[in-house]
Chains A and B, each alone.
Chain A
Amino acid sequence: MTDETLCLSILLFIIGATGFLVRRNAIVALMSVELMLNACNLAFVAFSRQLGDVTGHIYVILIMTVAAAEAAVGLALVVLIFRARNAVNLDEINLMKG
């Protein structure tokens, strides 16, 4: 089962990454990031089960915590940008264009 789980994890990660790169909406991009993080969680759990080490679970907890923090701050930023520019379209937010 480990292999299949890993396979799923990879798939999920790719889907998440694609979403992040392709979608313009900032919120959906954030959600894709969550997807990627979850894929990592899956991988950790699979390996932890295979190796019999509970360290993997600890990592998952830490990742979840980080994801929560990141989601909070990220959404705060999105709200700020929306207030400032009235748009959440990532294609249009390019003030830093060099």
Chain B
Amino acid sequence: MEPVVFPLLRWIPALPLIGFLINGLAAPANPSPWQTRRIHWVACLAPFGALVISILAFLELRALPAEARVLNDTVFTWIASGGFTAKLSFTVDPLSSVMTLVVTCVGFLIHVYSVGYMHGDRSYARYFSFLNLFTAMMLVLVLGDNLLLMFLGWEGVGLCSYFLIGFWYEDPEKASAGMKAFVVNRIGDFGFLLGIFLLFWSLGQQGIWTVDFQDIRQYAHLLSPAVVTAVCLLLFLGAMGKSAQIPLYVWLPDAMAGPTPVSALIHAATMVTAGVYMVARMGFLYITSDFAMQWVTWVGALTAVFAATIGLCQRDIKKILAYSTVSQLGYMFVAVGLGAYAAGIFHLMTHAFFKALLFLGAGSVMHAMGNETDIFKMGALRKKMPWTFWTFLIATLAICGFPPLSGFFSKDEILWQAYAAPRHGSLGLWLVLWLGAGITAFYMFRLVFVTFFGRPRDTHLHDHAHESPPAMTVPLALLGVGALSVGFLGIPDSWHVAHNLFEGFLAPVVGRPEHVPHGEHVFLVEMIFIGLSILAATTGTLLAAWMYLKDGTIPQRLAQRFPRVHDLLVHKYYVDEIYDFLLVTPIRRGSRKILWKIVDAGFLDDGLVNGAGRFFQASARRLRRLQTGDVPSYALGMALGVLAMIGFLLLK
């Protein structure tokens, strides 16, 4: 069916782009109060405008019948080559509508928060211009009608991530964190590109040259299973990089070097979720390949648990949250790997709210504690920063999956699918995720108890601590409301309490999860599992309370009892060191010794460039001798020429 034309769509990414241009081109360092106001008004209005249009699009979508919910806005034809065209065209269907709402809403709130957080920073304008650019690119990614646009947005967000992580680039550590993010992402992008190429070419072999999602969906059945699996795996490689799954997650903890709102926006709510979105968008392809689905599922599951274990022993508040992000992303991938795309996106949405809230809360704490990130230097902040504390607590309860917060609904849906999905669900998978949930609860409440409860560990810092300005606390509150309420959109149908509005909304695009046989005893099993997850969360919380609430020595004694385990966890399983040893150092050394000295300096610089010069000098020196000024010599030359001509003619 033909999509409905909705010409406002192009302004969803265009408004932030304009904001980027305005603030980017007129970017004074150390802006005056007037300039500061101009900068953040422009910067915040852009995503707000995008949010408004997104809401309009959503309402428009709802007004359409369920099977025909597609809005389109084609700007121009980007590539026209032979039989192949690619248009710059934005499409809103239920899936991208959800994504744009999440991105613009959370994005807007974070922009507002940044006004408070980045107050007084020298590069205020640059920050907001990049933040706007990021928003624009993310929206292009989500709204794009074809793989090319998605890739454009994909690369764009990676680039902005680099800019924003390395925002305070004068610090070499922060700058290299930015580089690390970009390089690791690049590895994933390589796979992504190969996936696109393979898909394009394979379809082309069948005579269909296209990158549009609609067309691919229509003709995907023409591809052989092997090709489909290969494409899915390659695209997932990109997702592994962008969404920080094993083995390409290593950039995310380091990315915490950037300003905290950046961590909230990019590394919690939006960019890292691009991989999940991509798998959901290409879900029609994944669902035909058993191997790819299993791969995605188990990579997600392993990542979920692995990252959770690392979070157990970290001291840096942002790093704990970073690992928890990696872990929650794993949950999302398990969901989409099982074919329960709606559940994955649902968790993406709830996670966006509570993770952004967690990060912004952490930023608030850091702001109060003079940018200190070690939680063991904090303590007893709950009286000093009530807004921060209460919103943080709400978010923590959400992430642990306590009802009736949003995280409960989304996470439990995933856990249920992990067990019950007909093709790939299993008890083992559920067990892994269940353990992960328990660990998550433990380390999150460890964080809460150490930071907000107990006695202050650093009295000097504690004395100066104060609640953050409204620019920061209001977004916290709003996000808190989101974290509380969004969950009710996705109450499972099987509970017969309400319809799963979320799943229903997305169904025309991503289908419904493969159905578990109904029946009373199935419902009972589901309830039991829910009970078990609540139990896991509670156990984790209580354990954390026992260990950390009372300022006891239990953590230290445990660490002494199991020194090697403790060491392994604190050092993040030495993964960074392993990578460095296996990959980074050899590549560096090889580049310096071979590629630089021999190829670049030797061959290109000296051999080709200088060599060309030397060659011409030498030949000129030799040729100069022909000009003797001696006429008979010239005659000799002529004689030689005549000889040559005659010889040629006669000997032919």
Contact = CB atoms under 8 A, between A and B. Distances in A.
Query: Does chain A touch chain B in the assembled complex, meaning CB atoms less than 8 Å apart?
Result: yes
A73 B86 CA distance: 77
B630 interface: yes
Interface string B540-560: 000000000000000000000
Interface in B608-652: 624, 626-632, 635-636, 639
Contacts of B627: 96-98
B632 A20 contact: yes
A94 B628 contact: yes
Contact of A90 (B624, B626, B632): B632
A21 interface: yes
A20 B635 contact: yes
Interface residues of A, number: 12
B629 A97 contact: yes
A95 B627 CA distance: 11
B639 A93 contact: no
Contact of A93 (B626, B631, B635): B631
Residue from B624, B628, B632 whose CB has the most chain A CB atoms within 10 Å: B632
Interface of B, helix, strand, loop or mixed by DSSP: helix
B74 to A, nearest CB: 67
A4 interface: no
Interface string A21-52: 10000000100000000000000000000000
A94 B630 CA distance: 5
A20 B631 CA distance: 10
B638 to A, nearest CB: 10
Interface residues of B, number: 11
Contacts of A96: 627, 629
A90 B630 CA distance: 7
A98 B626 CA distance: 8
A29 B631 CA distance: 11
A97 B628 contact: yes
Contacts of A94: 628-630
Contacts of A98: 624, 626-629
B629 A21 contact: no
A96 B631 CA distance: 9
Contacts of B628: 94, 97-98
A97 B632 contact: no
A31 to B, nearest CB: 14
B631 A21 contact: no
A24 to B, nearest CB: 8
Given A91-B630, A95-B629, A21 B624 contact: no
A63 interface: no
A17 interface: yes
Interface in B60-98: none
Nearest to B628: A97
A21 B639 contact: yes
Given A17-B639, A21-B639, A29 B629 contact: no
Contacts of B626: 98
A93 B630 CA distance: 7
A21 B632 contact: yes
Contacts of B632: 20-21, 29, 90
A21 B639 CA distance: 9
Nearest to B624: A98
A97 B625 CA distance: 9
A17 B627 CA distance: 21
A17 to B, nearest CB: 6
B256 to A, nearest CB: 71
Interface string A2-16: 000000000000000
A91 B633 CA distance: 10
Contacts of A93: 630-631
Nearest to A22: B632
Contacts of A90: 630-632
B640 to A, nearest CB: 11
Nearest to A92: B630
A94 B635 CA distance: 14
Contacts of B639: 17, 21
B302 to A, nearest CB: 78
Nearest to A33: B635
A16 B632 CA distance: 13
Contacts of A21: 632, 635-636, 639
A17 B646 CA distance: 15
A66 B636 CA distance: 23
Contacts of A17: 639
A30 B218 CA distance: 91
A29 B626 CA distance: 21
B636 A97 contact: no
A81 B632 CA distance: 16
Interface string A61-98: 00000000000000000000000000000110111111
> 7 nearest interchain CB pairs?
A98-B627, A97-B629, A96-B629, A94-B629, A94-B630, A21-B632, A21-B636
Interface of B: 624, 626-632, 635-636, 639
Given A20-B632, A20-B635, 14 more contacts: A17-B639, A21-B635, A21-B636, A21-B639, A90-B631, A90-B632, A93-B631, A94-B629, A97-B629, A97-B630, A98-B624, A98-B626, A98-B627, A98-B628
